[in-house]
Structure 1
Amino acid sequence: MKSFILGPLGLLVALCCLHKSTDAALAAMSIDLGSQFIKIGIVKPGVPMDIVLNKESRRKTPNVISFKNDERFFAEAAAAMSSSHPQSSYNFLLSMIAKKEGDDVFTTFKKTYPFTAFEFDDVRKTVVFPYKEEKYNVETLLAMILWNAKKVTEAYADQSVKDVVITVPIFLNQAERRAIAVAADIAGLNLLQLLNDGSAAALNYGVFRRKEITEKPTHMLIYDMGAVKTTATIVQYVLESNRKDGKDKQPTLRTIGVGYDKTLGGLEITNRLRDHLEKVFRDTVTTTKDITTNARAMGKLNKEAERVKQVLSANKDTFAQVESLFEEQNFRAKVTRDELEKLIEDLEPRIGAPILDAVAMSQLKIDDIDLVVLMGAGTRVPKVKQILKEILKGKEISNFLNTDEAIAMGAVYQAAHLSKSFKVLPFNINEKILYPVFVNFLTKTEEGALKPIRKSLFGETYPVPNRVMHFSSYSDDFK
């Protein structure tokens, strides 16, 4: 009889969390793999856990790669080229990982980046990006970005770093997670775990308040509206023991409810504002050609729309202005917060839906939630905050997390825990699997023939405890 034992922090590669032991020495890192930005955490002996500064001494790095004259550009340099060379600049790759031809994500990508050429592999039917004589798939481009993150971390730490925990949205399926694992391997990283970003943020909160965790459960809601997705995660903190005698109680973080919208984020708001500015330009400026046919002009307009959106979060009106936007014509137009809110009126039901879904899954009520925290740049939009306050019935929204860095800092604590080079105080994590996980294998019949069997290992929304599966028909190895 053979058994596979799966623990709460280390699942087999085929499952939701990827975890393997390592001998990499004396440093570990985390990567908050956002669609628009990357934040990197670092831990090494004698140095507190910290956020890595990139070459421009900034604490977050644009998640983009650009090519020019057979040279690769990353981070700020690549972001600067996105408007001037959009044909060979690649943004928001995480949204397309492991996606196949026909997925709606490519329609959205084409609308957002109309001048970035892409096609589909004849065999895999996944997306590839042609550049000169080469064709790059998403895993390869993502691997380049992860490789650059590794090099930036090593320069900051002044030593080699391989061990990494990478955070991902909880709704990623197995194919998407495996693709990220492949990219990490290509980048020369030793992937300790793929940790759900909501769990990482909650862990960052818990490890600094472990003395406040008792046998009485505390519930926290984390609402995160990022660039392209929105998630609501309800976690429970409780002090409990894994032993039969009830001794040696340890703080435990358990995900009990999740809601999400895979396509609702700050990028959708920016796109609508960009389209509005484009219309204003058409109505007020005379040109010989259509502005949408010019890659550089549309890149500038997109960048200005993002800036205006941020300004309107704190001001009721502002001016959008771009010098020599198109055909040497300058552009200047007043934009009000009311205009922006009218552009996103139809999104209002979607803004609150993830919270309602998370509450329903958790089987709690809004009143049962003790703490609420908002994350992601999208939550800075006043209309978004207003809708959330209404859904939360006026419940206080706290500011106890550094929301830009909480995910990376929680993940680097987990990296220290999983690495052999460090000892940290234990903090149990029980994540939730949103998709059922099955084991497929061949079993022997009484006649000696092989018959395919499919067994459920974890059901949908099943928590991840220790799990043992017995295979009694075999005395030798099998697949």
Structure 2
Amino acid sequence: MRDCFGDAALSTGVKYPKSAYWYLQLLLGQKFDSPLVTKYRQWFPYYDMRKDEERGTILFQHDSETAYSPEELVAMILNYTRIIAQDYAEQPIRDCVITVPVFYTQAQRRAMLYAANLVGLNVLQLMTDAAATALNYGLFRQASFNATPQYIMFYDVGALSTTASIIEYRKAQVKEGSVANTYPQLSVKGVGYDHLLGGLEIDIRLRDHLARSFEGMKKTQGSVFESPRAMGKLLKEAKRVKRVLSANTDFYAQVEGLLEDVDFKLKVTREELEAMCSDLYDRVQEPVRQALEAADMTMVEMDSVILMGGGTRVPRFQEALLKAVNKPDLGRSLNTDEAAALGAVYQAAGQTKLFRVKKFIVKDANVLPIVVSFEKRVSGEGEEGEEEEEEVVKVVKKTLFQRSNAYPQKKVLTFNRYSKDFPFSVYYSHLGFLSDDEKTYVGRLNLSEVYLAGVGDALSTHSGAEAKGIKAHFRMDESGLLLLDYVESLFEYPPDEEEQSTFAKIGSTLSNLFGGGSSETETTEEPSSAATEEGEGEKGEEGEGEKAGTETEGEGEGVSEKEEEAGEGDQEEKVEEDDEGAVEEEDLHSDEGAKEEEEAVPVEEEEGEVPAGEETPESAAAAGNSEETETRDETPPTEETTPPTTDEGEEGDEKEAENDSETTPGSVLAGMVYSEVTYLWQQTFCERKLVHDVGLELVQTITNISISLKFVFPIEFVSHHGHGRTFHNSHAFRLRTAALRVKAPYHVYAQKVCNGKVLMGKSECV
């Protein structure tokens, strides 16, 4: 039997239901024991599904020799769509933009990327259905946009799920060099969804109703529920009856030779269908409520509500939605079947050099909050007022990406007061806005376990410098994927004795000539303008780190052409700890679990560890520091927003290096490893010297896929430029390693590739 897709597969699937696979996007990134997999097996009990013992995911046993994973089946569908596009375009196609549901987790997004990779597709971006639909809607209404925001709610009832998304449209001014240009922009402000509220649930209920009616006739010896072919016929007929009842009040369902050559015919009314699905219509308003809550808005602020998806053709859905949004009518101006695809096509055209399209800025939003937790040792009071203090461990939690945070975006987490190796965890949290069922559909909350090794070695190597903390650089890219780019340790060396500047010497000479001073008078040297700018930039950055609380500097409204590759915008947010170790977090949508949890555990002194109250040079250097989180939203400031002051030598060079570097995501998926060692840099300033030591061994475990990945970074690099001299401009250079890509065959763990190690300068296992 040949492979077939679409309508051909639908017809063939009635005869061979075990060999026809439906609604596979529900299974991507899911473990075998997931509630969504359990629901899928209830819908289609005739599939022979088993557990992949290596990955813990699903396998469809196609025949005695062949088994397919959901990623492989989705890859076949993607390849079929590419063949259709190539036939139309009459040229090879490799690049694409793929739409995914707004609620897709990190594991599901990586599974989709893996499916595309299996057939050689280069995914430019994973775009959410909400953003793609909104882009298609806005393309033809750009003339109506201005500086005043317009808010549109899109309500999408698809085959599997229902989503409500609030989109802001406006014109944004973007500075490109010395010119400020105006572009249309859309921003996803809030999203609400129901995983299993869709047209398929109606089809399944109507199918089961028809099957029970046939069983009641008692004309056959066998049960229709035990015949996969009969159930496939009934599902096909149920879909047809549902469509007809959307425009008619009653209709006859009929199937010839349903079972044992017995024909089936039954009259079904719209009232009966609505009674079967009455509880579904009660769930229509929940996505609307979630979206309004996420955007912190009300329905009064919505200019209109636009329908999307084939499920919105059901009259009862429309009635329930009208009641939920309290609007006189619903917008039906979108092509519900093609709007998302057309929006993705435009987005793809804008990311390639083959087409020139008008710029339309798209800012998507994170749906599930992501948190980092780590342990911190603090001194506690002894019992009954004793002077002796006992070390305790507190579990500190910091929100890395909140609900509705725009992306792409970068964030830097700084760890201070650490003199030994330590781990930290990244996971989903603050999910109080979800129902109990929706929380189970998220799957495993833990995203990654990271262990930082070599901390003590880095401190001992730079014992003469002041430790400035260990920084973990996170990034959420255009596809909504969370990446830990690299980890670095920063040290500050004391400045060398500076020579008097030429101007200071001239001033001293003139002063002596006119009797204004003597040779014994000390002269304070005024740094040059360039040096002053460098020093102020550094001091400003350091001063911000000393402030307590949360500071947010500027939000950009668009993407400048210069920084388009790096992402969107510059927003800095810092969250610090006070002296007591309490974390100040601003999370408007947190539940009870969103509060910082601290677990006090007495800690015994390890061998070689300094007892509480005593200090090492390294710990004393970091004593004035506290953990902080820096947020860099990659949206450049608009004309209305003043950009934050940055140090050209450090941050500017970082962006330049980032744009020059290869953009291979550091990700792990289903036995395939993509690893990258990005870049290292160091700067020497006239006032002080900063050393970025990436001599940390980072061990990362992606628990959703159960694969380990280890990065081994170079230990040390120190420059001695600038000794005995004064630079009026910052002298900076960077050292960069080549990006390594290690691929493992399908079903092979990363541990089998060099024991999970990425070796610098070597492409083969040793």
| Matches for 1:15-414 after TM superposition, within 5 Å | 68=1, 71-132=2-63, 133-243=65-175, 247-414=180-347
Please point out which of 404, 410, 426 is paired with 1:461: 404
Q: CA offset at residue 305 of structure 1?
A: 0.6
CA contact (8 A) 1:97 1:139 kept: yes
Distance 1:457 1:211 in 2: 37
Q: Which has the higher helix share?
A: 1
* Higher RCO (C-alpha 8 Å, min separation 6): 1
Structure 1 distance, partners of 2:34, 2:128, is 23
User: Which ranges in structure 1 are unaligned for 5 or more consecutive residues?
Assistant: 1-67, 442-452
**Higher CA-based Rg:** 2
Q: Please tell me whether the aligned partners of residues 240 and 251 of structure 1 are also in contact (alpha carbons under 8 angstroms).
A: yes
3-state SS of paired residue (2:406): coil
Q: Percent identity?
A: 40
Contact 2:157/2:199, CA 8 A, preserved across alignment: yes
Query: Over the residues paired in the alignment, what is the CA RMSD in angstroms?
Result: 2.3
Please report how far the alpha carbon of residue 349 of structure 1 lies from its aligned counterpart in structure 2 after TM superposition.
2.1
- Once the two structures are TM-superposed, the CA of residue 467 in structure 1 deviates from its matched residue by 3.5
Partner SS state of residue 350, structure 1: coil
Distance 1:455 1:136 in 2: 40
Q: What is the CA-CA distance between 1:120 and the residue it aligns to?
A: 0.7
After TM superposition, what 4+ stretches of structure 1 lie above 6 angstroms from structure 2? 438-441
| Superposition pairs of residues 442-457 of structure 1, within 5 angstroms | 457=400
1:459 counterpart letter in structure 2:
Q
**Secondary structure of the structure 1 residue equivalent to 2:283:** helix
Tell me, in whole angstroms, the C-alpha distance in 2 between the residues paired with 1:476 and 1:422: 40
Counterpart for residue 582 of structure 2: none
Query: 1:439–1:363: structure 2 CA closer, same or farther, 3 Å change rule?
Result: closer
How many pairs are equivalent?
401
Give 1:73 shift: 2.0
Does structure 1 residue 430 correspond to structure 2 residue 363? yes
* Alignment-mate amino acid for residue 434 of structure 1: V
Distance 2:343 2:408 in 1: 21
Shift of residue 367, structure 1, vs aligned partner = 1.6
Distance 1:114 1:398 in 2: 38
Asked whether the 8 Å contact 2:373–2:398 carries over to 1, the reply is: yes
Please state whether the residue corresponding to 2:166 is helix, strand or coil. strand
Q: Please list the CA deviations of residues 316-352 of structure 1 after superposition, one character each: whole Å capped at 9, or x if unmatched.
A: 0000001111111111110000000000111222122
Q: Distance in 1 between matches of 2:31 and 2:294?
A: 29
- The SS at the match of 1:354 is helix
CA contact (8 A) 2:370 2:401 kept: yes
Mapped partners of 1:111, 1:371: distance in 2: 38
Offset of 1:386 from its aligned partner?
0.6
Alpha-carbon contact 2:48-2:61 (below 8 Å) kept: yes
CA distance in 1, matches of 2:204, 2:311: 13
Distance 1:167 1:321 in 2: 37
Contact 1:89 1:116 in 2 (8 A): no
Query: 1:183-202: per-residue Cα shift (whole Å, max 9, x none)?
Result: 11111111000001011011
For residues 372 and 138 of structure 2, the distance between their equivalents in structure 1, rounded to whole angstroms, comes to 34
| Residue identity matched to 2:264 | F
Structure 2 gaps, min length 5 = 375-395, 414-470, 472-487, 490-691, 699-766
TM-score of the superposition, structure 1-length normalised?
0.79
The letter for the 1-side match of 2:324 is: I
- Partner-residue secondary structure (3-state), 2:282: helix
Counterpart in the other structure of 1:32: none
Task: Give CA-to-partner distance per residue, 1:417-445, whole Å, 9 cap, x none.
Answer: 0112112111111111012346899xxxx
Q: Do 2:364 and 2:407's aligned partners in 1 also have CA atoms closer than 8 Å? A: yes
Question: For residues 342 and 454 of structure 1, what CA distance do their matches in structure 2 show?
Answer: 47
Secondary structure in structure 2 of the residue aligned to 1:73: coil
What TM-score comes out, normalization by structure 2 length?
0.50
The code of the aligned residue for 2:183 comes to Q
Q: 1:203 to 1:477 in 2, by over 3 A?
A: farther
Distance 2:695 2:111 in 1: 27
- Aligned equivalents of 2:184 and 2:315: distance in 1? 36
- The one-letter code matched in structure 1 to 2:219 is T
Describe the shift of the 1:311–1:360 C-alpha distance in structure 2 as closer, same or farther (beyond 3 A): same
Alignment of 1:421 onto 2:364: no
What SS does the aligned partner of 2:4 have? Answer: strand
Q: Which letter does structure 1 place at the counterpart of 2:348?
A: A
Deviation track 1:66-105 (CA, whole Å, cap 9, x = no partner) reads xx3xx32222221212211111111111000110022122
Q: CA deviation at 1:222?
A: 0.5
Deviation digits for residues 267-290 of structure 1 (CA, Å, limit 9, x no counterpart): 001111111111111122421111
Deviation at 1:468, TM superposition (A): 5.7
Asked if the contact 1:220–1:236 (Cα under 8 Å) also holds between the matched residues in 2, the reply is yes
Return the alpha-carbon distance in structure 2 between the equivalents of residues 408 and 184 of structure 1.
16
3-state SS of paired residue (1:211): helix
Q: Is residue 310–residue 336 contact of structure 2 (8 Å, CA) maintained in 1?
A: no
The answer to whether the Cα contact below 8 Å between 1:86 and 1:113 also exists between their aligned partners in 2 is: no
Which range moves more in the overlay, 322-331 or 235-244? 235-244
C-alpha contact (below 8 Å) 2:295/2:404 kept by paired residues: no
Q: CA deviation at 1:148?
A: 1.2
Deviation readout 1:450-474 (Å, 9 max, x if unpaired): xxx9975422321226536484514
Deviations 1:23-79 (A, max 9, x none): xxxxxxxxxxxxxxxxxxxxxxxxxxxxxxxxxxxxxxxxxxxxx3xx322222212
Equivalents in 2 of 1:456, 1:249: separation in Å?
A: 33
